[in-house]
Amino acid sequence: MSTTSTSTELPFPGLRSGVELVPTTDEPQTGKDFTSDQEVRWCPGCGDYAVLKAVQGFLPDLGLRRENIVFVSGIGCSSRFPYYLDTYGMHSIHGRAPSIATGLATSREDLSVWVVTGDGDALSIGGNHLIHALRRNVNMTILLFNNRIYGLTKGQYSPTSEAGKITKSTPMGSVDHPFNPVSLALGAEGSFVARTIDSDRKHLTSVLSAAAAHRGTSFVEIYQNCPIFNDGAFDAIKDNDTKADAIIPLVHGEPITFGNGSKGLVRDTATGGVKIVEVGTGHGQVDPAALLVHDAHNPDPTTAFAISRLTDSGYLNQSPIGIFRQVERPAYDDLARAQVATAREAAAGDDAERLAALIGGGDTWTVV
Amino acid sequence: MSKQVKQLDRVIIRFAGDSGDGMQLTGDRFTQQSAVFGNDLVTLPNFPAEIRAPQGTLPGVSSFQVHLADHDVLTPGDAPDVLVAMNPAALKANLGDLPRGATIIVDTHDFTARNLSKAGYDANPLDALGDANDPLGEYAVHPVDLTGMTVEAVKQFGLSRKDAARAKNMFALGLLSWMYGRPTDPTVAFLEKRFAKVADIRDANVAAFKAGWNFGETTESFAVSYEIKPAPMAPGTYRNITGNLALAYGLVAAGVRSGLPVFLGSYPITPASDILHELSKHKAFGVTTLQAEDEIAGIGAAIGASFGGALGVTTTSGPGIALKSEAIGLAVMTELPLVVVDVQRGGPSTGLPTKTEQADLLQAMFGRNGEAPVPIVAPQSPGDCFDAALEAARIAVTYRTPVMLLSDGYLANGSEPWRIPEVDDLAVIDPKFAQAPAADDDGTTPTFHPYTRDPETLARPWAPPGVAGLEHRIGGLEKADITGNISYDPANHDFMTRTRQAKVDRIADSLPPLEVDDPSGQARVVVLGWGSTYGPIGAGVRRVRKAGYHVAQVHLRHLNPFPKDLGDILSRYDKVLVPEMNLGQLSLLVRAKYLVDAVGYNQVRGLPLKAAELAEAIGELVAQAEGVEVDLTAATTEPSSQEVK
């Protein structure tokens, strides 16, 4: 008996939008149409409000039928999100939203599926589901609200908290090394990986648009301030005095430069990564024309990963923001449905006839 | 040479060899031949968890037992009449199960010094055959060089010696087929199909199979062959089927009869994986299978698909249920249809992956946080897994609830003849999706309330996304009655907790009355069982009756809720015996619920209960209840139901 493994060529459904199979509407929509009757119960000043407003404001732009949009969340402050949107929604259990969304998106091609999760939900208890959703490239958009702290359980360190962080569960400082969510998503074969900020509605909305349009799993890390347990965690990238030096903006096709043009990125031939240089014509400075041009569509994620490493793992004084990677790869749910469709097309007769043939197959005998 | 043909009413044969010797295939083919011939039969595959345990060792022994008869049989048999042993380890590992006088056919080829030593033999037991100190003196031993003759029979195909020797199991199958007059055509056809792509292997296996038959026909070592006439069975078309296959077919049927696409989220685990394998072949029925990253993702995806309007299913064994518990609670809270299949195996922890047990009943019943009632359905035989799967789906869809389907390792891999049902006779399952609300006279659409209830079933509306006007949010937080909004109200939580329980209790309204098997009507002892113990209990009960005593039998398909008449039935008997492959889980439940003094008969040996031992236990209770001496020696074999009726 041959035990050689075999494989088959899978059909590539071709390039199409993440919402291509979702029914659209000509009815004008506003943010209000997406606002549920539930009272929003986040703390005053929570960054989640800004994201909710941005999402409610952005959803009408998609022009999709409201009843074909589903938000699925896990557990945590951000996971209350679905209650506040007048779409279909499920507030599930801790860490499992990507798995639930995978089943939903695979069984229903006509839905726009969104996952709302946090740094604890997605990266700690649900880490396994996150990486496998990214690997499979299920057609959904994952919004990871990263506040670098546990909010709903009242202030323990999270998998993105900086080492040394003093919290209720780490009175002498956390000795855990944190995850960089973008690096993780890139390593997990993510086909769309982006980072944005709760308070920058314009940037947030542009990233959400691109994420929704992407077919496959879109991963969006949203820096989000927790005013109660980790206030000020993102001040350096939000403060008008410091943000020009703290944010490294990534725009596809543009040279990567920041600090009001004074700094930029080049390849680091010594490490194989990228490094920050002074931009200019002076001694030790790099000519603007020599800066690294951001290529989000590069099939090789190496450079995107290298750029992601410029994120501070301690207090956030520096972070690249934007779409790190956006490449086409067949989506799991498209392929899974294509196999079912192919099998159904090849089958003759109705289901009842074929069921009779199935259960009546094999070696049979008849007793009269 | 014409040989003597003896009539038998039944025989128990065990094929045993090394894990790599193909004993499961051999046993399965012998079973298929016997099934096609028309015998009733029950099988018991028994194999190690290791794929290839060290060759020639005791832990590496794999066996397949089949009990075939000219009447209906209920168990794979307590002790084999015939043992086919392919090596010393197989002989040693199985000898203890053989009764005096049993026939042993042994492949002498592997009785080398090295293999004998691996099996723990100091001396070759075959060397002393017929001597005064013959260690096998109690048995009728046939030493045959099966391997040598196989190699000789297939040499024309030019295989390596190793490949040639691998056909020895087909030689053994041919010999046994001759001995018991089995039809050979199905196996020849099977081999031609299985090895269609490798002509020399195909031809070698067919040649070895035929050579085995011819050897039996011509050798003087076997003077007698046997005939076991077909068993009388109800009219219909039959096939032999294992529990896992029947269960998978039942799920496909549930999809067809409900009009719902079946979505299986599953993580491979013994002994449930074959259901995943089987369902993955049936995409033509709209079945989607997702091999998830872990047990939790398997059920998560199934819940997501159920939310989307599919029949969500997840399949696993006990350790997987432990991991899925929180998600089962989510399905309880969100009141979504879900079938959770637990093919039970020996526990706790990793336990005995390939051996059977019934010790997950209380896990299924109570293994969640909070008050989280889950209906439980259990099949009683391999073929019954088909009906049980349909029933689980019916309850799940009708009552919008996760349902636990408790199979076990014995049902999963064991097989029996199964009368193939007519598709039109199968239950129709109505998903009854929520309809889009009609606009009121003033043109406004009423708000959809996802936690209103059907007055009869207490089921809430199932409203998959895609319908305008039914937008709603569900989740694991407590729901307010009717609206489904988050509610921390004390009275509401109390009400909803009781309502979820009442909904599950309502299922009992849809169940038929229990069948009480009490032919004389004079029994004072009732034996109550559930799941795969149906066969051994039935066989034990028959023995007791054959010896002239009265005993009743009741078997439960529904463990939660219990059928409404169970309490009354139990109260009619002086003694209630509950045999289980656990330490008394159903006993605990019926004692708690009905205040009956249930007596347990409990074994956790990883094997089905033995009918003879069980009969003794029943007999003891009958003796107590009736104040008589009970002597079962008159009933030493498993009698047919015809004999006692």
B437 close contact with A: CB closer than 8 A: no
B-chain residues near A337 (CB < 8 A): 288
B448 close contact with A: CB closer than 8 A: no
| Token pair 């949009």 in the structure block, residue | A69
Give the torsion through C-alpha atoms of B145, B148, B149, B152, to 10 deg: -170
The Cα A341–Cα A23 span in angstroms is 20
Percent of chain B predicted with pLDDT > 90? 92
| Residue in A25, A92, A109 to test binding to B, most B beta-carbons within 10 Å | A92
| Average pLDDT rounded to a whole number, residues A190-205 | 97
3-state DSSP assignment of residue A100:
helix
| Residue in A94, A335, A337, A367 to test binding to B, most B beta-carbons within 10 Å | A367
The Cα A182–Cα A186 span in angstroms is 6
β pairing state of B558-560 and B376-377: antiparallel
Helix B611-626 vs helix B534-546: angle between axes, to the nearest 10 degrees?
A: 50
So what's the pLDDT on residue A137? Answer: 98
Q: Which of A92, A346, A358 is closest, CB to CB, to B475?
A: A92
Q: Structure tokens of B228?
A: 């076991």
A-chain residues near B306 (CB < 8 A): 103
- Identify residue B317 by its one-letter amino acid code: S
B-chain residues near A65 (CB < 8 A): 468
The Cα B335–Cα B504 span in angstroms is 11
Percent of chain A predicted with pLDDT > 90? 93
| Token pair 């076990």 in the structure block, residue | B408
| Average pLDDT rounded to a whole number, residues A192-207 | 97
| pLDDT digit string, tens, across residues B51-104 | 888 899 999 999 999 999 999 999 999 999 999 999 999 999 999 999 999 999
| Average pLDDT rounded to a whole number, residues A316-345 | 97
Asked if residue B152 lies in contact with residue B212, where contact means CB atoms within 8 angstroms, the answer is no
Percent of chain B predicted with pLDDT > 70? 98
Q: Is it the case that residue B636 has pLDDT exceeding 90?
A: no
DSSP secondary structure letter of residue A123: I
Q: What is the DSSP string of B523-549?
A: -SEEEEEEGGGHHHHHHHHHHHHHTT-
For chain B, what percentages of helix, strand and coil (3-state, to nearest 5) are there?
A: 40, 20, 40
Degrees, nearest 5: CA angle B339-B342-B348: 145
The Cα B42–Cα A244 span in angstroms is 77
Cβ within 8 Å, pair A103-B472: no
Q: Is it the case that residue B20 has pLDDT exceeding 90?
A: no
| Average pLDDT rounded to a whole number, residues B280-305 | 98
So what's the pLDDT on residue A340? Answer: 97
| Residue in B33, B184, B303, B307 to test binding to A, most A beta-carbons within 10 Å | B307
Q: Is it the case that residue A7 has pLDDT exceeding 90?
A: no
pTM of structure: 0.94
3-state DSSP assignment of residue B224:
strand
| pLDDT digit string, tens, across residues A28-58 | 999 999 999 999 999 999 999 999 999 999 9
B219 close contact with A: CB closer than 8 A: no
Closest-CA residue to A46 (of A161, A199, A153): A199
Listing from the earlier edge strand, what are the strands of the sheet with B402-408? B288-291, B262-266, B311-316, B338-344, B402-408, B376-377, B558-560
B628 close contact with A: CB closer than 8 A: no
B100 close contact with A: CB closer than 8 A: no
B415 close contact with A: CB closer than 8 A: no
Asked if residue A122 lies in contact with residue A144, where contact means CB atoms within 8 angstroms, the answer is yes
The Cα A145–Cα A54 span in angstroms is 13
Q: Which residues contact A289 (CB under 8 A, 6 or more apart)?
A: none
Q: Provide the number of CB pairs (under 8 Å) joining chain A to chain B.
A: 217
Closest-CA residue to B83 (of B147, B179, B13, B25): B13
Cβ within 8 Å, pair B305-A107: yes
So what's the pLDDT on residue B52? Answer: 80
In what helix (H) or strand (E) does residue B328 lie, and over which residues does it extend? helix B318-334
Q: CA of A247: how far to CAs of A69, A144, A241, A310, A316, in Å?
A: 32, 19, 12, 10, 10
The Cα A221–Cα A212 span in angstroms is 14
Asked if residue B450 lies in contact with residue B457, where contact means CB atoms within 8 angstroms, the answer is no
**Nearest residue in chain A measured CA to CA from B264:** A103
Average of per-residue pLDDT values in chain B: 95
B-chain residues near A114 (CB < 8 A): none
* Helix residue ranges per DSSP H, B110-184: 113-118, 146-153, 161-165, 168-179
Tell me the CA end-to-end span of chain B in Å, nearest whole number: 43
Q: Which of A129, A351, A362 is closest, CB to CB, to B297?
A: A129
Q: Structure tokens of A72?
A: 């699925």
B-chain residues near A76 (CB < 8 A): none
Q: Which residues contact A38 (CB under 8 A, 6 or more apart)?
A: A83, A84, B473, B485, B486
Q: CA of A366: how far to CAs of B66, B182, B468, B593, in Å?
A: 21, 17, 52, 45
3-state DSSP assignment of residue A15:
coil
Average of per-residue pLDDT values in chain A: 95
Cβ within 8 Å, pair B301-A347: no
A-chain residues near B464 (CB < 8 A): 108
B431 close contact with A: CB closer than 8 A: no
Task: Please list the residues that pair with A277 across neighbouring strands.
Answer: A264
Closest-CA residue to A110 (of A346, A340, A334): A334
Cβ within 8 Å, pair A365-B36: yes
Q: Is it the case that residue A352 has pLDDT exceeding 80?
A: yes
Give the torsion through C-alpha atoms of B205, B67, B244, B395, to 10 deg: 160
B44 close contact with A: CB closer than 8 A: no
So what's the pLDDT on residue A14? Answer: 61
In chain B, which among 460-479 make CB contacts under 8 A with chain A?
A: 464-477
ipTM entry: 0.97
The Cα A123–Cα A97 span in angstroms is 12
The Cα A55–Cα A352 span in angstroms is 45
B370 close contact with A: CB closer than 8 A: no
**Nearest residue in chain A measured CA to CA from B254:** A355
Cβ within 8 Å, pair A93-B476: yes
Q: CA of B104: how far to CAs of B19, B20, B91, B310, in Å?
A: 19, 20, 9, 53
3-state DSSP assignment of residue B403:
strand
Q: A15: buried, middle or exposed (CB in 10 Å: 19+, 13-18, 0-12)?
A: exposed
In what helix (H) or strand (E) does residue B186 lie, and over which residues does it extend? helix B185-194
3-state DSSP assignment of residue B43:
strand
Closest-CA residue to B544 (of B579, B569, B568): B579
**Nearest residue in chain B measured CA to CA from A103:** B301
**Nearest residue in chain B measured CA to CA from A358:** B249
β pairing state of B10-18 and B61-69: antiparallel
Asked if residue A199 lies in contact with residue A325, where contact means CB atoms within 8 angstroms, the answer is no
Cis bond before residue B54 (omega within 30° of 0): no
Report residue B644's pLDDT band, with 50, 70 and 90 as the boundaries: very low
Q: Structure tokens of B625?
A: 């209840």
So what's the pLDDT on residue B645? Answer: 28
Report residue A100's pLDDT band, with 50, 70 and 90 as the boundaries: very high
Q: Structure tokens of A128?
A: 């396994």
| pLDDT digit string, tens, across residues B598-625 | 999 999 999 999 999 999 999 999 999 9
Q: Is it the case that residue B271 has pLDDT exceeding 90?
A: yes
B261 close contact with A: CB closer than 8 A: yes
Task: Please list the residues that pair with B227 across neighbouring strands.
Answer: B7
| pLDDT digit string, tens, across residues B404-450 | 999 999 999 999 999 999 999 999 999 999 999 888 888 888 899 99
Q: What is the DSSP string of A152-190?
A: TTTS---TTSPTT--BTTBTT---PPPP-HHHHHHHTT-
Asked if residue B506 lies in contact with residue B457, where contact means CB atoms within 8 angstroms, the answer is yes
Min Cα–Cα distance to chain A from B135, Å: 39
Q: Is it the case that residue B323 has pLDDT exceeding 70?
A: yes
3-state DSSP assignment of residue B26:
helix
Q: CA of B112: how far to CAs of B107, B108, B118, in Å?
A: 11, 8, 10
A-chain residues near B386 (CB < 8 A): 359
| pLDDT digit string, tens, across residues B510-529 | 999 999 999 999 999 999 99
So what's the pLDDT on residue A12? Answer: 67
| pLDDT digit string, tens, across residues B375-391 | 999 999 999 999 999 99
Closest-CA residue to B100 (of B142, B138, B141, B137): B138
Q: Which of A90, A129, A363 is closest, CB to CB, to B239?
A: A363
Spell B313-342 as b/e; 16+ CB within 10 A means b. bbbbbbbbbbbbbbbbbbbbbbbbbbbbbb
Least confident of A223-232, B238-247, B343-352, B629-638: B629-638
* Helix residue ranges per DSSP H, chain A: 47-62, 97-107, 119-120, 127-136, 181-187, 201-213, 235-238, 243-246, 302-308, 332-346, 351-359
Cβ within 8 Å, pair B300-A102: yes
Task: Please list the residues that pair with A276 across neighbouring strands.
Answer: A265
B226 close contact with A: CB closer than 8 A: no
B-chain residues near A107 (CB < 8 A): 261, 263, 288, 304-305, 308-310
- Identify residue A111 by its one-letter amino acid code: L
So what's the pLDDT on residue A2? Answer: 45
Cβ within 8 Å, pair B237-A87: no
Cβ within 8 Å, pair B307-A100: yes
Task: Between A295 and B224, name the one with better pLDDT.
Answer: A295
The Cα B85–Cα B106 span in angstroms is 5
Asked if residue B380 lies in contact with residue B359, where contact means CB atoms within 8 angstroms, the answer is no
At residue B263, φ and ψ (nearest 5 deg) are -125, 115
So what's the pLDDT on residue B640? Answer: 45
| pLDDT digit string, tens, across residues A50-80 | 999 999 999 999 999 999 999 999 999 999 9
How many CA atoms are closer than 13 Å to the CA of A16, on its beta-carbon side?
12
Cβ within 8 Å, pair B475-A90: yes
